[in-house]
């Protein structure tokens, strides 16, 4: 629950890193009334505030996740606004965007208003809501995009399903010119995916599981990029998984299309080899985990900026929806609480990417929706993730903030942990064993 009052505290001797703002060094981070007022020299004479001994700890701009499933309304047994935003806070996030594929889907202005009202009471951080592109996500008619924007919808997405009809997407892109709002796209050709449950390749061949070919994603991206180019529309490609898709986005951008895209931590860290375990709890999601070559192409895309942000596609599911044979299990894994730690462990520590790049991409999810990027620059609202890069922990050992436990990291030992999160100027999270010292 947000109190409405901004935090007053000082992070003493924090190692501050905000590559976008060009900030790097050891500072006392001074937060007053919820704003960063100063990055002072360590040990500066300051008083009247709680102090946090941050020596040896890193302060980053808090992260922003443009792709989260809060499951409200309809599937509160999986997650709700309170548990989902708490999970985000525990992962170092200061803002999240909730997808609209709820039951019923978020398709009317009243739906958006009700969710925003609920979030005011229940969320531990700012939460934005997307509305569907098509009414009821049925792929037949457009929603009232203008009225939805007026009601506060951040953007539009039928995520969970692709927009099958090119005509309908074209109309949405035309309508976007009147009302704005980035259209976020789940790119998949249902005809090519068929009844697939994992990446099509040698592993699916050996397991006898129906495959989802990479071209199911990349051909749809190519189609939609062509439509966006034709209409001058603004699109955001969700959860990129295949090398061909990175190529398609790169080509579209080179051609001048207004396109952005995201990749998820699980696609950046894992491959379809994991599916040999036939464990749907951790390894069944859509798009599926793909080959090592695909994973490397995603990392390269992250490095060269083709992929400007990391999004978890946090998709909670109840036990009984996952404790079934792989083919029958629900698609999706949770990821908010582990994104930073997992990527730090799997990509930064081995030297694959820099810490600075990771921090930049984890906060990169705001820009595609024309929202303000979290920053540590003095004068800004306090959105800070305070992390201990040396802390080792085993995921799930102490439970989860999320209502669901289908974490792809379950049981993994990770290095790096979020100790405290400031979101929207308030303390949204602190690890139970991490307490504030008083000056």
Partner 1 sequence: MKHLLAIEDLGRGEIEAILDRAESFAEVGRRDIKKVPTLRGRTVVSLFYESSTRTSASFELAAKRLSADLISLKAAGSSVDKGESLKDTCATLSAYDPAAIVIRHPYAGAAQLVAGWTEAAVVNAGDGKHEHPSQALLDLFTLRRRLDSLDGKRIWIVGDVLHSRVARSNLSTFRAMGAEVTVCGPPALIPRGIEQLGCEVAHSLDRLQEADVVYALRLQRERMAESFVPSIREYAARFQIDSRRLGPRQLLMHPGPVNRGVELSGEAIDSPQSLIGEQVAAGLVVRMAILYELLAVGGERPAPAAGEDALSPTPIGQPA
Q: Is the peptide bond between 287 and the residue preceding it cis, with omega within 30 degrees of 0?
A: yes
Question: Least Å distance between CB 341 and partner 1?
Answer: 28
* 288 near partner 1 (CB under 8 A): no
The one among 204, 264, 383, 406 contacting partner 1 by CB under 8 A: 204
Q: 135: exposed, middle or buried (C-beta count within 10 Å: 0-12, 13-18, 19+)?
A: middle
Q: Is the peptide bond between 104 and the residue preceding it cis, with omega within 30 degrees of 0?
A: yes
The one among 33, 41, 166, 205 contacting partner 1 by CB under 8 A: 205
Nearer to partner 1, 22 or 208 (CB): 208
Nearer to partner 1, 204 or 380 (CB): 204
Nearer to partner 1, 205 or 377 (CB): 205
Q: How far apart are CA 297 and CA 387, in angstroms?
A: 28
Looking at 81-89, 160-168, 206-214, 218-226, which segment touches partner 1 (CB under 8 A)? Answer: 206-214
Pairing of strands 437-438, 426-430: unpaired
Site string for partner 1, 248-287 (x = CB under 8 A): ------------------------------x---------
| Beta partners for residue 429, in sequence order | 421
* 165 near partner 1 (CB under 8 A): no
Question: Least Å distance between CB 328 and partner 1?
Answer: 6
Token duo for residue 379: 């004068």
Catalytic member of 224, 313, 370, 405 = 313
* 66 near partner 1 (CB under 8 A): no
Token duo for residue 305: 């900026």
* 179 near partner 1 (CB under 8 A): no
* 208 near partner 1 (CB under 8 A): yes
Contacts 24+ apart (CB under 8 A), 117-123: 118/72, 118/81, 119/81, 119/85, 120/2, 121/1, 122/1, 122/80, 122/81, 122/82, 122/85, 123/2, 123/81, 123/82, 123/85
The one among 84, 181, 211, 374 contacting partner 1 by CB under 8 A: 211
Question: Least Å distance between CB 326 and partner 1?
Answer: 5
Looking at 133-141, 197-205, 295-303, 409-417, which segment touches partner 1 (CB under 8 A)? Answer: 197-205
Token duo for residue 182: 């980035």
Question: Least Å distance between CB 207 and partner 1?
Answer: 6
The residue count for binding partner 1 (CB under 8 A) is 21
The SS3 assignment for 186 reads coil
Catalytic site includes residue 224? no
Looking at 2-10, 26-34, 123-131, 324-332, which segment touches partner 1 (CB under 8 A)? Answer: 324-332
Measure the N-to-C terminal CA separation of the chain; round to a whole number of Å: 26
Residues 326-355 touching partner 1, rule: CB under 8 A, are 326-328
Query: Is the distance from CB of 66 to CB of 311 less than 8 angstroms?
Result: yes
* 201 near partner 1 (CB under 8 A): yes
Any alpha helices (H) in 255-374, and if so which ranges?
Answer: 265-269, 280-283, 292-304, 319-322, 339-343, 355-362
Pairing of strands 63-68, 309-310: unpaired
Token duo for residue 292: 């090592």
* 209 near partner 1 (CB under 8 A): yes
Residues of the shown chain interacting with partner 1 in the complex, contacts defined by CB under 8 A: 200-211, 213, 278, 320, 323-328
Q: Which residues form the catalytic set?
A: 313
């Amino acid at each position: 629950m947000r109190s409405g009052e901004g935090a007053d505290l000082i992070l003493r001797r924090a190692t501050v890193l905000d590559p976008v703002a060009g900030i790097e060094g050891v500072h006392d981070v001074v937060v007053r009334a919820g704003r960063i007022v100063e990055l002072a020299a360590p040990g500066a004479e300051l008083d009247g505030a709680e102090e946090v001994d941050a020596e040896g700890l890193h302060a980053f701009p808090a992260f922003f996740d443009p792709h989260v499933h809060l499951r409200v309304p309809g599937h509160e047994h999986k997650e709700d606004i309170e548990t989902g935003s708490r999970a985000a806070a525990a992962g170092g996030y200061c803002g999240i965007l909730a997808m609209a594929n709820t039951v019923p889907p978020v398709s009317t202005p009243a739906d958006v208003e009700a969710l925003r009202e609920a979030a005011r009471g229940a969320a531990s951080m700012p939460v934005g809501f997307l509305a569907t592109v098509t009414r009821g996500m049925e792929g037949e008619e457009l929603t009232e995009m203008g009225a939805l924007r007026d009601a506060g919808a951040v953007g539009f997405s039928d995520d969970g399903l692709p927009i099958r009809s090119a005509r309908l997407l074209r109309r949405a892109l035309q309508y976007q010119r009147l009302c704005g709002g980035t259209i976020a796209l789940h790119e998949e050709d249902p005809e090519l995916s068929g009844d697939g449950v994992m990446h099509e390749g040698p592993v699916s061949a050996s397991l006898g599981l129906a495959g989802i070919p990479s071209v199911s994603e990349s051909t749809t991206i190519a189609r939609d990029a062509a439509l966006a180019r034709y209409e001058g529309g603004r699109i955001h490609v969700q959860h990129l998984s295949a090398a061909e898709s990175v190529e398609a986005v790169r080509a579209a951008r080179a051609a001048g299309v207004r396109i952005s895209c995201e990749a998820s931590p699980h696609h950046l860290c894992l491959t379809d080899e994991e599916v040999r375990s036939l464990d749907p709890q951790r390894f069944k999601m859509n798009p599926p985990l793909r080959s090592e070559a695909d994973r490397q192409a995603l990392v390269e895309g992250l490095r060269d900026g083709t992929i400007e942000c990391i999004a978890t596609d946090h998709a909670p599911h109840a036990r009984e929806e996952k404790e079934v044979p792989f083919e029958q299990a629900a698609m999706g894994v949770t990821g908010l609480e582990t994104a930073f730690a997992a990527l730090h462990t799997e990509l930064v520590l081995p030297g694959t990417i820099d810490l600075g790049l990771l921090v930049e991409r984890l906060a990169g999810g705001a820009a595609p929706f024309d929202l303000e990027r979290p920053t540590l620059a003095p004068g800004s609202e306090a959105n800070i993730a305070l992390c201990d890069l040396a802390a080792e922990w085993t995921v799930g050992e102490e439970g989860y903030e999320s209502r669901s436990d289908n974490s792809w990291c379950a049981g993994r030992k990770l290095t790096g942990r979020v100790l405290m999160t400031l979101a929207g100027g308030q303390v949204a999270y602190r690890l139970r064993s991490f307490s504030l010292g008083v000056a």
